[in-house]
Copies of this chain bind each other. A is one copy, B any other.
């Protein structure tokens, strides 16, 4: 692991996710920006002192040289610290599991892409919401034609934790609102990219143009905290994407609705174990994770019977478990987000910023 030392949030999530199905063991890390802090975190995490590194460069080199070196590295640093370690490990032939968004701009993204193409190692981007069983079920249903040709996608990701000026001690808020570390985007990078990724993952469509109206409602904020985005997608479908960190009363309200010529689906992350599906002219159905009458689908990526809720960590674990299968050659990783999803996300961030700077104009891809 690179990053994820004391006080971090997403690092702990990655560790649990990797552990749930018992496919990974944490044995080495460059957990923090100084060797001392890195070793202190290693101690807490049960990592041997001689594999707690001060820098990612050192770690990549040392681990690549060991007979029992790591099979994969998880990169869980702030956005501006993704490209460096990713490239270093890829060059060292070590598989990379990287937090999203890919990086901070398209130049760095291109370098990462080049490194991936040259490397024998795999690259996985943890757009973890794709791991939810019903999201995968929805993707499968749409690919099967259960909704007919897709016309509309309504994607939302609303939170409220930034509705006011955050506590100065809040590390999570600090780097996310600092353009230097976040990459220029605020809500659009942190959560908007998740919403876009979910929309394209499920629908199989890709964005062709967007128009964005960004705001920074909180005084002094240097990045957007709300974005209203219109999308034009491949095949003539249209989309609306709203992401906000100031929608008071919203905890982590990621929702996806997709409508085709003959059917529609609706899913909400805060209760991810159910989804509705309507065939035009029939009653709406409530489809549950692994529930009755579906066959395959969601049931393939779930550990417990329907009615026993799984959540965010289990969805995240599905990404890790699929990554293990891919790394061990047990699957082709068809469901795993990678560099393409990452490049699409970077395009989204940059296009939103450009569109909004121009007063809200269309930006083609």
Contacts and interface: CB of A to CB of B under 8 A. Distances in A.
A252 B213 contact: no
Contact of A311 (B19, B286, B310): B310
Interface residues of A, number: 87
A257 B285 CA distance: 18
Interface in A1-55: 9, 12-13, 15-16, 19-22, 46
B19 A309 contact: no
A348 interface: no
A286 B288 contact: no
A259 interface: yes
Which of A215, A250, A253, A278 neighbours the largest number of chain B CB atoms within 10 Å of its CB?
A278
Contact of A309 (B265, B286, B309): B309
How many monomers of this chain does the complex have?
4
Interface in A277-310: 277-288, 291-294, 303-310
Contact of A20 (B215, B261, B262, B313): B313
Contacts of A239: 228
A234 interface: no
A198 to B, nearest CB: 15
Interface stretch (A103-111, A178-186, A266-274): A266-274
Nearest 3 interchain pairs by C-beta: A252-B307, A251-B307, A249-B278
